[in-house]
Structure formats: C-alpha cells, structure tokens
Amino acid sequence: MKLVILRLGHRIHRDERVTTHVCLTARAFGCDGVIISGQPDEGVKRSVEDVVQRFGGKFFVEMKRDWTKVIKEWLESGGEVVHLTMYGLPLPEVIEEIRSSNRDKLIIVGSEKVPRKVYEMATWNVSVTNQPISEVAALAVFLDWLQQHREFYIEFENAKIKVIPSAREKKVMRLA
C-alpha cells in the first residue's frame, strides 16, 4: 500500500518549518513521499532531501500547484483519500474501516483554511481530537494507528548515519 502526503496551502517562510516537520514525520513513519501544494519552496525540498541522503531510505518531495488534479487522479487510479481535520470523524471510530482496505492512501494535511471541496472529495474526513492541535501531531498519531506502530521497526536503506538508542547518551554510528 502506497502512502503519500498532500500538504495543502504551503506558504514560503511562514510554513517552512511546519511543512518540513510534516515531511520528516511522513518519512520516519514509512510514507513514500510528500506532494506540496501552494507556493513552491525549494528550501523545504532541500532540507528534507538532505535528511534522506544522510538517514537513508527513499522519499520524494514534489511540488504541484493544482491540488484538485492530484486528488482527482489519485481517486481515478483507485486510491483512497484521508483528510485529517478537527471537524472529521474521530480516529477511533473509523480506523478499522480505513485499515481494512489495502488501497493506496493519499493523506491530506492543510495549513490555513482548507477549501470545502477537500471535505467533499475525501474518502474520509478524520479527526485526531476535535480540538485545534497541529497538522504534524494529527499526522503522526494517524500514521501510528494506521500502521500499528510499524515506524518503530523500519530499517532505512543506504543510511550514512544511524542512531543507536541509548538511555543517556547520543550514540551515532557512521556507515559511510
């Protein structure tokens, strides 16, 4: 099952760090890549690709202006769309249904106001609490639930740096 994030409404400067956090979280939790819609931002792309270079694995960052087209094509090719929003149905109520389908998932996270069309096009509108939180928090918890904690056991190929878990130190293994 392919997992791709669609980051809506990215604005240069203002969203730079949060969008980077979205990308890094998506990568670490086993997604295939992120499509950023909004203002094109080579800076975000570069910092995420730098992490991929050093910590390994495959992960793409693409920028596409026309998010409607991205969603439409995803659905047409048989994939499903999960829109994370505080207005959606609670994660615990829908997770079984979402997990039970093996189709590719496009997971949408917005920044500023998300157009109504997204709510209509999504296969599921899902909330991680109905409180204002953070798209990064919502994404992390959703992916953890969807994949049942798989993120803790991923091995990233071709890593140059690997962290060795430690109770009290910073242990890093250099592989290249």
Instruction: Find the binder of its own copies among 115, 134, 158, 160 (CB under 8 A).
Output: 134
Q: Does 165 bind its own copies (CB under 8 A)?
A: yes
Q: Which residue has the tokens 């604005």?
A: 11
Instruction: Kindly state the DSSP code that residue 176 receives in the 8-state scheme.
Output: -
Cβ nearer to its own copies, comparing 37 with 125: 125
**Closest to its own copies by CB, 102 or 164:** 164
b vs e for 3-15, b when ≥16 Cβ sit within 10 Å of the residue's Cβ?
bbbbbbbbeeeeb
Sheet-wide strand order for 124-127: 60-63, 33-38, 3-10, 105-109, 80-90, 124-127
Q: What residues numbered 56-85 form the site for its own copies, per CB under 8 A?
A: none
Site residues, its own copies (CB under 8 A):
14-15, 17-18, 21-22, 24-25, 27-29, 51, 55, 86-93, 116, 119-120, 122, 124-125, 127-134, 136-141, 144, 149, 151-152, 154, 156, 162-172
